[in-house]
């Protein structure tokens, strides 16, 4: 298994890069930055980048629609813009919140948008005509991030009130609040299976919960500074994080350990994202650089698991895909349960030692 390798550097932003995403066609990357610009980078070297100007303040979040035909951006100017990612850079704009819009995310069907803001609310919109649908209002401080679950039925939000909340989109109710972070929570997202979430924040930690049992499954203290961003690999086996300690960390969720530490940015690494296929990832930082990396570890262990599964399920030889996260969920849950049991065992042993010392 080879280390991930840096493929290309993109320079064009004039301030900290805040957000990054891949087009599903793997031909473009979109970035937002504190310079108020949205940039589309064409991955073919001979094609120039597009710079989209329209926001009147820092761009905090960007994302391609699932089809790749639109780009959404959220800004400190309290607006959201929807762009056509072509030469003209045409956009529509709407005032989304009464405070900075920190985060924007498309539902997997491309029909809805969820936004998070310093006005302490999460809001859901239709993409068509950008019609406001409803607000989620239980956070008591800035909301840094909000994402739809893969099936679009749930929303996860992360806030400076130190909570991560799970919401039911249909009932518009908060199902559960996770309160284990001891600092502001900057980022959160759903595992591709939809059964787990991960979050990171100013306490320098990354936590993974099972949202069916509301149990903390994994706790990583691998960064020495604030965790700004995270992204799940499409297989569900890996999680990548970006931190103010200038590093990117790749976590092996199945083994529950740090796999790689990547040094590339000069200063805080502010955003990171895997491509839809998982073959690449991209990162941005306060050094104004956008970096494209090849994920050389992609699928190595996973394909072996699938090969063995195919052998035992020969009646359905074509049902397995190296990019189908559902295939690894059982294994991930099993390993996570084992890790949880080991943690319990360690805690019990520690208690026994403490009691022994007290006596």
CATH code, domain carrying 148: 2.130.10.10
User: Which structure tokens are listed for 343?
Assistant: 């943690």
Out of 80-94, 263-277, 298-312, pick the least confident: 298-312
Whether residue 298 is predicted with pLDDT greater than 60 in this model: the reply is: no
Q: Provide mean pLDDT across the span 333-355.
A: 55
Contact 223, 243 (CB under 8 A): yes
Is 114 within 8 Å of 122 (Cβ atoms)? yes
266 domain-assigned: yes
Q: What is the per-residue pLDDT for 140?
A: 98
342: in domain: no
Q: CA Rg, the chain, in Å?
A: 20
User: Tokens 């030469």, residue?
Assistant: 87
Mean pLDDT computed over every residue of the chain: 87
pLDDT higher at 304 or 340: 340
Domains held by the chain: number:
1
Both tokens assigned to 347: 């805690």
The residues with which 257 forms a beta bridge, in sequence order, are: 252
Q: Which pLDDT does position 332 carry in this prediction?
A: 54
Report the distance separating Cα 165 and Cα 297, nearest Å.
Answer: 32
Rounded Cα distance, 216 and 197, in Å: 10
Q: What is the mean pLDDT of residues 284-291?
A: 97
The H-or-E segment that residue 182 falls in is none
Handedness of CA 118, 190, 199, 272 (dihedral sign): negative
Cα–Cα distance, 329 to 75 (Å, whole number): 35
Burial class of 309 by CB neighbour count within 10 A (0 to 12, 13 to 18, 19+): middle
> Which pLDDT value is given to residue 86?
85
- Sign, CA torsion 345/348/354/359: negative
DSSP 8-state secondary structure symbol assigned to residue 4 = P
| CA triple 284-80-243, angle to 5 deg | 25
212 DSSP 8-state letter: T
Domain that holds residue 255: 5-302
Q: Which residues pair with 50 in a beta bridge?
A: 40
State the pLDDT at residue 311. Answer: 43
Band of residue 48 on the pLDDT scale cut at 50, 70, 90: confident
**Residue 193 banded pLDDT, cuts 50, 70, 90:** very high
Mean pLDDT of 29-35: 98
More confident call, 350 vs 131: 131
Range with the lowest mean pLDDT among 58-72, 227-241, 267-281, 284-298?
Answer: 284-298
- Does residue 352 register a pLDDT over 80? no
When pLDDT is averaged across residues 109-114 and rounded to a whole number, the result is 98
Mean pLDDT of 266-279: 96
pTM of the complete model = 0.84
Does residue 201 contact residue 192 with C-beta atoms inside 8 Å?
Answer: no
Classify residue 115: in a domain, yes or no.
yes
User: What's the pLDDT band for 278 if we cut at 50, 70, 90?
Assistant: very high
Residue 136, in any domain of the structure: yes
* Structure confidence at residue 172 as a pLDDT band (50, 70, 90): very high
| In the chain, % of residues over pLDDT 90 | 76
Residue 23: its H or E element: none
User: Between 198 and 324, where is the model more confident?
Assistant: 198
3-state secondary structure of 303: helix
Range with the poorest average pLDDT among 108-112, 262-266, 350-354? 350-354
């Amino acid at each position: 298994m080879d280390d991930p390798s840096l493929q290309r550097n993109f320079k064009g932003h004039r301030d900290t890069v805040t957000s990054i995403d891949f087009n599903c066609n793997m031909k473009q990357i979109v970035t937002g930055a504190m310079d108020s610009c949205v940039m589309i980078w064409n991955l073919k070297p001979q094609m120039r980048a597009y710079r989209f100007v329209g926001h009147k303040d820092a761009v905090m979040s960007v994302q391609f629609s699932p089809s790749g035909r639109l780009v959404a951006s959220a800004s400190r100017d309290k607006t959201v813009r929807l762009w056509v990612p072509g030469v003209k850079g045409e956009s529509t704009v709407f005032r989304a919140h009464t405070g900075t819009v920190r985060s924007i995310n498309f539902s997997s069907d491309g029909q809805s948008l969820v936004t998070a803001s310093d006005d302490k609310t999460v809001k859901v919109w239709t993409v068509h005509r950008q019609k406001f649908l409803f607000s989620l209002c239980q956070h008591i401080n800035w909301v840094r991030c909000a994402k739809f679950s893969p099936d679009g039925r749930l929303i996860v939000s992360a806030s400076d009130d130190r909570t991560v909340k799970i919401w039911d989109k249909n009932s518009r109710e908060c199902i559960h609040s996770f309160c284990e972070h001891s600092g502001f929570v900057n980022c959160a997202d759903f595992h591709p299976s939809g059964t787990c979430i991960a979050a990171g924040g100013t306490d320098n930690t990354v936590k993974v919960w099972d949202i069916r049992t509301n149990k903390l499954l994994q706790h990583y203290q691998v960064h020495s500074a604030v965790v700004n961003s995270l992204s799940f690999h499409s297989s569900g086996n890996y999680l990548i994080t970006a931190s103010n300690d200038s590093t990117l960390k790749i976590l092996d969720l199945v083994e529950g350990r740090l796999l790689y530490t990547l040094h590339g940015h000069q200063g805080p690494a502010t955003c990171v994202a895997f491509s839809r296929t998982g073959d690449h990832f991209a990162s941005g930082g306060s050094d104004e650089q956008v970096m494209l990396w090849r994920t050389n570890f992609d699928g190595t262990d996973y394909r072996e698991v699938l090969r063995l599964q195919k052998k035992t399920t020969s009646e359905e030889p074509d049902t397995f895909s190296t990019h189908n996260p559902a295939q690894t969920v059982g294994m991930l849950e099993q390993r996570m349960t084992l890790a949880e049991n080991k943690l319990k065992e360690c805690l019990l042993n520690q208690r026994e030692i403490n009691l022994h010392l007290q006596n």
